[in-house]
Amino acid sequence: MFEILTLPFMQRALIAGIFVGFLSSYYGVFIVQRGLGFLGSGLAHAAFGGVALSVLLDQEPLWIAVPFTIIVALGITYVKDKTSLGGDTTIGIFFAVSMALGIIFIFLKRQYSSDAFNYLFGSILSVTLADIIVPGILILVTIIFAPFWKRWAYSTFDRELAEADRIPVRLDDYLLSVLIAVTIVVSIKVVGIVLIAAFLVIPPATSRLINKSFSKMTFTSLVIGVLTALVGLWISYYLDVPSGATIILIQASLFFIVMIIKSIVH
Amino acid sequence: MSNAIEIKNLSLSYGKIKILENINFSIPEGDFVSIVGPNGAGKTTLMKILLGVIKYNIGEVKIFGKDVADVDPSLIGYVPQIKTMDRSFPALAIELVTSGITRRWPWFVTGKEKQKSLEALTLVKAENLANRTLSELSGGELQRVCLARSIVRNPKLVVLDEPATGIDAIGEADLYNLLEAYQGKSRATILMITHDWYVANHHSDSVLLLNRKQVSFGPPAEALSENNLRTAFGHIGHLHLLKGVK
């Protein structure tokens, strides 16, 4: 049962799983509570544009996809801030443009690329050292920015109260959107572009069902995110099925179990 | 007595649209002042300028003698409209009150913060609500908790944005009693936006009648005169119900 821990590619995949489980479930609480579920989906598809560009340029996908997705995230936040358009409309525009660019880039390559498909559905076999180092750096950044949780939570609850207490909510919006963008890009090797939005939303949503305070919701979401990523990777190895889909199905099962138990208890 | 708020020649425009034009008034410390005006009169904009949330184009706005940008936000207790508040946010009432002390959302509530928050809740007769979630509170209960949140930092100025919206008549009467009791105890200045002429007339030392421009400012009976109300609202509604107003 534990022999998978001796396999180097599984060691990399499990470490990456812990890292991206942590990051997604941490930033996911803000996505869920701010009603930004569609942002996860939009940025994941933006990441596809970045991955496709890297395929076209024969470069390591992470180095192209990270800045590409950050630019899209900043663009979404900027347009939302400067216009009266709704968040979903803004995200929808950037989502479509990024996907269209991605399709053109893949078409221009004119040859089959396994890289692009690994990013679409997630592949534990393809996790490289860079896929551990970059999320590791992001976790360090997240720990350094830990005091910001109190500011982000405050403006998540009520933007006006936070502004009245002189919290720079617009600056925080940009910062948060960049960190969410990077989280999405570093998570797609394990989970896949197609399913990353669910990966960001399900652990916090499950946690929301059982917690009455935002701090407890954040902590429980972290535990669920990390554990389900590990269990999902383990099962995907034994069943030889895609890792992203396995993790999402485990998370969704847990969500429905918690929901049913909660409705019975109440 | 020094002034809590001093506004000189304040104007604000977005492009060619004038939101506020040439506002001039000052409020002595310890006064209860209501801002009255029709929808779109600029009441909330004026309040946000005072909170430092919106920057103004022209004029001077001073709070306790300092430019609004330099005022310590701890001196101001703000009660927002509860109808805009996200009650699905997972939070206990005591956490909301504690955010008034920390000016951040608390990861956990320390013993000292808990004690101060409970004192504020007790002051508004809501200590029994401390461990309820926001979604479990009625409109009136949430309004009390918000009031406790605003006074927990012992502010010298309390700003309320239509505090009676979404609560019943008894809850509303309780709220004004609690507010006046706090003012009597702390000598804080109270600034309240209200649609209700009767409330403004009954509770305030002064009234600012606003419709983009300053229609009137002064004691309620003068500020809410028939002429002034006609200028601000275009009609006088149930003016005859206001005692002392001519």
Q: Over the stretch A118-142, which tens digit does the pLDDT of each residue have? A: 777 777 777 888 888 989 999 999 9
A262 interfacial to chain B (CB closer than 8 Å): no
For residue B246, being part of any structural domain is answered with no
Of A30-34, B112-116, B163-167, least confident by mean pLDDT is B163-167
What is the pLDDT confidence band of residue B240, given thresholds at 50, 70 and 90? low
Would you say A236 and A60 are in contact if contact means Cβ atoms under 8 Å apart?
no
Q: Over the stretch A198-227, which tens digit does the pLDDT of each residue have? A: 889 999 999 999 999 999 999 999 999 999
For residue B37, being part of any structural domain is answered with yes
Half-sphere exposure of B40 (CA within 13 A, CB side): 3
Give residue B1's pLDDT: 65
Q: Over the stretch A9-57, which tens digit does the pLDDT of each residue have? A: 888 888 988 999 999 999 999 999 998 888 888 888 888 888 888 888 8
Q: Which domain holds residue B88?
A: 3-241
Residues of B with CB under 8 A from a CB of A: 51-53, 73, 76, 78, 80, 84-86, 89-92, 95, 99, 102-108, 133
The CATH number for A238's domain is 1.10.3470.10
Residue of B73, B89, B106 with shortest CB distance to A165 = B73
Token digits of residue A70: 């950050």
What pTM did the predictor assign?
A: 0.88
Average pLDDT of the residues of chain B: 88
Strands B3-14 and B17-28: antiparallel
CB contact under 8 A, A212 and B52: no
Crossing angle of helices B93-102/A148-157, nearest 10°? 120
Find, among A4, A12, A3, A20, the residue nearest to A195 by Cα. Answer: A20
Give residue B237's pLDDT: 61
Give residue B206's pLDDT: 93
Average pLDDT of the residues of chain A: 89
Give residue A1's pLDDT: 62
One-letter amino acid of A28: G
Of A4-8, A29-33, B115-119, B159-163, least confident by mean pLDDT is A4-8
Dist. CA A239–CA B184, nearest whole Å: 72
Query: How far apart, in Å, are the Cα atoms of B185 and each of B74, B126, B156, B181?
Result: 18, 18, 12, 6
Give residue B241's pLDDT: 56
Domain total of chain A: 1
Give residue A39's pLDDT: 86
Distance from CA of A34 to the nearest CA of B (A): 9
Give residue B239's pLDDT: 56
Of A29-38, A190-199, B130-139, least confident by mean pLDDT is A190-199
Domain total of chain B: 1
Residue of A164, A213, A217 with shortest CB distance to B73 = A164
Q: Choosing among A155, A156, A213, A262, which should be mutated to test the B contact, i.e. which has the most B CBs within 10 A?
A: A213
Give residue B243's pLDDT: 53
The CATH number for B171's domain is 3.40.50.300
For residue B91, being part of any structural domain is answered with yes
A163 interfacial to chain B (CB closer than 8 Å): yes
Give residue B83's pLDDT: 83
Cross-sheet strand order for the sheet of B32-36: B66-67, B58-63, B3-14, B17-28, B213-218, B206-211, B32-36, B189-194, B157-161, B76-79
**pLDDT top residue among B125 and B113:** B113
Give residue A25's pLDDT: 95
Q: How far is CA A182 from the centre of its chain?
A: 8
Q: Which domain holds residue A85?
A: 3-265
Q: Over the stretch B193-238, which tens digit does the pLDDT of each residue have? A: 988 888 888 888 999 999 889 999 999 988 888 888 888 887 666 5
ipTM of the complex: 0.87
Contacts of A163 in chain B (CB under 8 A): 51, 53
